[in-house]
Amino acid sequence: MFRALLPVALAFLLLPSLPANAQDDALRAAVERYINNPVQQRMMDDMFSPDAMVAQMRAVMPQITEEELQSVAAIAAEELAILRPDLETAMIEAAIAHFTLEEVEALDAFYSTPEGASVMVKMQPFMATAMGLVGPQMMAAQMRIGQRAMEELSGR
């Protein structure tokens, strides 16, 4: 009798895990589609480009020359290109951890629209402009944070 019921009992125990695995697989597939979407890929291309690096560095390093800026930006773009596969993998894992399937599908649907694609293209220059406006204050804040952290930790 026990042997006859064993397959039924195992099926009953495994049944709840099947939809979760199927749902996990569906979420992973949706996230991978979202990250590999041409709009997302273009955003990363733009974000890691030497021009983007110049804009970011100009905001936080206003004292360097344009030639130095171009040289450092090219180095940064090369290094970030090496990092990109790891970033994409991290983005996939982070999205799986934080978003539902429905949210990822909504993101993908939005960024697949002309408006969503336009927003994504404008996001990097938008952030570069914003950081350019507060770059000196950000540098000063980072210096104060470092100084205060050192004081705090050395007093222990």
Percent of the chain clearing pLDDT 90 (strictly above): 41
∠ CA 150-154-156 to the nearest 5 degrees? Answer: 130
Residue 22 tokens read as 């199927």
- Mean pLDDT on 56-82: 84
Q: What is the pLDDT of residues 107-140, one digit of tens each?
A: 999 999 999 999 998 988 888 788 878 878 888 8
Please give the tally of structural domains in the chain.
1
Q: Does pLDDT of 14 surpass 60?
A: no
Q: By residue range, what is the domain housing residue 146? A: 2-154
Q: Are 17 and 45 in contact (CB under 8 A)?
A: no
Q: What are phi and psi of 106, to 5 degrees?
A: -65, -40
Rounded distance between C-alpha atoms, residue 83 and residue 132, angstroms: 24
Q: pTM of the entire structure?
A: 0.67
Q: Does pLDDT of 1 surpass 50?
A: no
